[in-house]
Amino acid sequence: MNILLKSVNIIDSESDFDNKTQDVLIENGIITNIKDSIKNTNAYPEIISDDLHISQGWFDSSVSFGEPGYETRETIDNGLETAAKSGFTSIAVNSNTNPVIDSNSAVSFLKSKAINSNVNLHPIGALTLQSKGEHLAEIYDMKLAGAVAFYDYKKAISNANLMKIALQYASTFNGLICSFPQNNSIAGNGTVNEHITSTTIGLKGIPNIAEEIQIERDLSLLDYTKGKLHIATISTAKSVELIRKAKLNKLDVTCSVAIHNLFFDDKVLTDFNTNYKVLPPLRTQQDIKALIEGVNDGTIDMVTSDHNPIEIELKKIEFDHAAYGSIGLESAFGALNTLFSTRKTIKLLNQGKSRFGINHSPITIGSKANMTLFTPNQSFIFAQKNILSKSKNSIFTGQQLKGKALGIINNNKITLH
């Protein structure tokens, strides 16, 4: 693939060309020249667009598709196309399929499906067999097949000894264990945040302590085992404080937050729109403020779209019975760029790579082209037409967002929106 990018604004703190407007020449997938003006002597295709920006290719640490087993929700092929057009060159894909991704062969299947894609698919293997929380899966065998972490998606490990053993065993091969922060015995049958809104609208609540007591337990286990832990999608102010304290105590812990938990509070639930039914639930403005502070000071290591396609028949039903989850790849950049500066947004969209063992790809001469193309200043209303996923369950439908991803260049291929 040969292409010339004209007058692009480069945002990449790891590049000598950061914050400069340059022409960028890519030949056979390699960046061969970057300068103020490049003559197109070989008549390569050119990309010229107003307000065109590029950065290192973005990464999302929590993406769910459906295949195998739930292809009506999303296929791997369409999911990868959606990720590419949404600006992501790398995604970590969860194990919540049927069958669950809990073996070497299942991990290999996922990787084989993406072998010709320009999106790098990094499987997350299940932590326990069939994600039932009873017996540890063959996590080392999955590591050998290419799994980057181990996680029972949205399923808390209630057995503390099982989590202890997982952390101890994974530490022998530098494996990353992920935990979902919810104590199910406290959460019970709750479906939304336990607060004024839940009482007003008559829905059962999930109290903050259900998340926080699980985090306290897992941090204690981490301190005991000296393992390596990632706590996925925290949502409360106290959770931020707990992780901040653990980091000060030099524990090897990271955490993420879902973009929608930074954007919406539980007041949006009053019309019973099931697209707002997510897990962890939308909390309060006080929690959002603490989460954003955690993002800004580095306590929260990464943000995720927590992309989770759900078929319409599991969303267009009573709120209590609707499935949890929202798609989020398509809206990720626009939502983050609405909340933070563009430079901060780009940093957040690259920040999780190191934790999941994914190489950074600075925009420098001689490097392989692994980059995202985007425009940061265009405001728009996110609508059904912006959804590329097979499932349409977007929490951001109808929201004003700022900035659009235009596509990616990676693996000697280009995908444009």
Residues assigned a catalytic role: 306
Query: Count of CB atoms within 10 A of residue 273's CB?
Result: 15
* Alpha-carbon 322 to chain mean position: 22
Task: Give the Cα separation of 280 and 92 in Å (integer).
Answer: 19
**CA-CA-CA-CA torsion for 362, 352, 66, 320, nearest 10 degrees?**
-140
Contact, 57 vs 84, CB < 8 A? no
Pairing of strands 205-206, 413-416: unpaired
Pairing of strands 149-150, 120-125: parallel
Please name which of 177, 94, 108 lies closest in space to residue 136, comparing C-alpha atoms. 177
Helices and strands in the chain: count of H runs, count of E runs: 12, 18
Strands (E), 296-399: 302-304, 371-381
